[in-house]
Amino acid sequence: METQRLEQERVDQEKREKRKQKEKERKERLKKEGKLLTKSQKEARARAETTLRMLQAQGVEVPCKDSMPKKKPVYGDKRKKKPTDEEKEKGGGKDSEEEEEEEEDSSDSSEEEDGRTKEELLYDRAKKRIEKRRAENMRNVDLERLRSPVVCVLGHVDTGKTKILDKLRHTNVQDGEAGGITQQIGATNVPLETIVEQTRMVKNFDKDTIKIPGMLIIDTPGHESFSNLRNRGSSLCDIAILVVDIMHGLEPQTLESINLLKEKKCPFIVALNKVDRLYDWKKSPETDVVATLKKQKKNTKDEFDERTKSIVLEFAEQGLNAALFHENKDPRTFVSMVPTSAHSGDGMGNLIGLLVELTQTMLARRLAHCDELRAQVMEVKALPGMGTTIDVILINGTLREGETIIVPGVDGPIITQIRGLLLPPPLKELRVKNQYEKHKEVNTAQGVKILGKDLEKTLAGLPLLVAHSEDEIPVLRDELVRELKQTLSSFKLEEKGVYVQASTLGSLEALLEFLRTSKVPYSGINIGPVHKKDVMKASAMLEHDPQYAVILAFDVKVERDSQEMADSLGVRVFAAEIIYHLFDSFTKYREDYKKAKQDEFKNIAVFPVKLRILPAFIFNSRDPIVMGVVVEAGVLHQGTPLCVPSKINRASIDALKSWFRDEMQKSDWQLIMELKNTFEII
């Protein structure tokens, strides 16, 4: 039956194709003969015939068709009308040929159009328009106009990341002014004037060669910044600053950051921070850091050289070449290191200067002006008097007030209009709400706050899309649904494991990476607040493996009824706003759970051991037996039951596997296999 159905479908498809081909040939023939007319052409012909009859009735001689030069009849005005920019944006402004095609389409029945409905035809037409617009935008890249590069700051805790960000934000603070640097939503916008001001001491740096209009420094956790813009396959970050404490070298989180940068193939420079802690360091923030190094005493220079060489060696162990920026002849092969002190300000100008130089040379094509919209939702915030707003990083393109946007949501894509685009005023920090300035449109690269309806359930970490016309909404909505499904399906779930909940896609990835390295399986994931349905899913582990009846909630709200439900079912909910606090509390829970289980099974678990009794050293053959033995295999524990030979069973082996695995060596498991055969344990 299935074969017959498929065969019938094939036959029907062939019939439709033939009918479509015949119709196409018929239209082509009629076009050549001048008989296929649009509605407007038919009306024009009718008017012309009426005029002709009136003239003939008045006795005016009109040349007949045969005496006229042979020419294809044209009715109506077929001159192409050039569409305006506004019409282009709305998908309007069609020329007469496009109108003719649409007239033809409307004259055909829906059955002749491959059996598709009107909605399907509109959907396909909108999809093609979007694809065409994107292709045109990608072709029309302007290499002469560069956007601001997006810079991320990474590194270990206490290496000075925050200090560097503060130095970039608050350099030359006078009377509460931010010195030309505007801290924006989740990001710091460093304008051109500030770059010029901060690099004035840098040797051989010509301010007239600066091509970028500024820099956008993302102030979010590293993993957060690298959440992929899934529909473009590229990272939010263009270049990164890896902060390394010169006194401590590469630390655990520094290595994590390096692996992240390598994985995303993101270029980066190294800030060798805290040089002011070198013995007898003489600070000089108003001079080039190379000159400052030369001015130091010999013992200070020797210590700097020694620590730098040690860090270069550590980078080599990670498979990376590194060199001091002023000695680096090949920035594409060697990572540049800039000596800095966020505390004293030494080297900060050189750091910014190097960022400018690398971004406008090595990354020129990536930063080239492009009208294709690239924007990512970073955060969802409720503001007094404004309602729920979303913070968006706009990388490419333009956002305008009144545009229809589609953003990812907890219950599916949210479609709304932009009611307001908010930026802080120039030279001011973003601290109080009355400092926001409303803009009609915002260009790249900016951090912008968007006002709109129904934004409460927006998901951070996924793209924001703009519909240019109403028929594009379903296409873009489906695109976002696919993005989210593909993203969540890429995470490998286990049958047994914890349930993970996070506020954004980036934080979810960070949390899952921690669980993977800690060898903790996860059976379910979600983004957004913890609801009762999440508790129900997590409670399934109570039957399979109670240790995993846990919800890890990172930076999300736990609804009160959800918490009550979890308490009644016996599901543990760990919630924290800082990822490391969540790690610590969950790690402690696991250790406590394991210890409790070890106490519970200590009388069941039997560690395997093989002994040989020494007959010459039997000191007491009755209770209590005291004798000398040789341990030939395994480990002899106090409390191990002994027999001739030592007795183990299936329950004791299972207890060892579940709760004492860390105390067993490979040789112990080999002995278990030997004893299983001896005692015929299945």
Question: 156, 170, 223, 248: which is the annotated catalytic residue?
Answer: 223
For residue 337, the cross-strand partners are 270, 324
Print burial letters for 15-30: b (CB count within 10 Å at least 16), e (below 16).
eeeeeeeeeeeeeeee
DSSP helix, strand, coil percent of the chain (3-state; round to 5)? 40, 20, 35
| Cα atoms in the Cβ-side hemisphere of radius 13 Å centred on 623 | 0
| Cα atoms in the Cβ-side hemisphere of radius 13 Å centred on 196 | 12
Please tell me what DSSP assigns to residue 236.
S
For residue 674, the cross-strand partners are none
Q: Which residue from 460, 538, 539, 541 is spatially nearest to 500, judged by alpha carbons?
A: 538
The Cα diameter of the chain in Å comes to 147
| 489 within 8 A of 443, measured Cβ to Cβ | no
Radius of gyration of the CA atoms of the chain, in A = 36
- Please give the Cα distance from 108 to 106 (Å, whole number): 5
Asked if omega into 445 is within 30° of 0 (cis), the reply is: yes
Helix axes 505-517, 579-601, angle to 10 degrees: 30
Residue 199 DSSP SS3: coil
| 406 within 8 A of 468, measured Cβ to Cβ | no
Please tell me what DSSP assigns to residue 459.
P
Asked if omega into 608 is within 30° of 0 (cis), the reply is: no
Give the pair of three-digit tokens for residue 336.
């540049």
- Please give the Cα distance from 594 to 605 (Å, whole number): 14
| 7 within 8 A of 39, measured Cβ to Cβ | no
The total number of residues written for the chain in this structure: 682
For residue 339, the cross-strand partners are 272
DSSP H helices in 115-241: 118-139, 161-170, 192-198, 222-225
Handedness of CA 256, 447, 339, 158 (dihedral sign): negative
Residue 369 annotated among the catalytic residues of the structure? no
In sequence order, which residues have a C-beta less than 8 Å from that of residue 352 and are 6 or more positions away? 168, 190, 195, 198, 199, 215
Report strand pairing: 522-527 vs 446-451: unpaired
Strand ranges (DSSP E) for 168-262? 182-184, 187-191, 214-218, 239-245
- Please give the Cα distance from 448 to 423 (Å, whole number): 6
In sequence order, which residues have a C-beta less than 8 Å from that of residue 83 and are 6 or more positions away? 92, 93, 94, 95
Give the pair of three-digit tokens for residue 561.
């009824």
Amino acid type, 89: E
Burial class of residue 154, CB neighbours in 10 A (0-12, 13-18, 19+): buried
Query: DSSP states of 587-625 as a string?
Result: HHHHHHHHHHHHHHHTTT----EEEEEEEEEEEE-SSSP
**Catalytic center residues:** 223
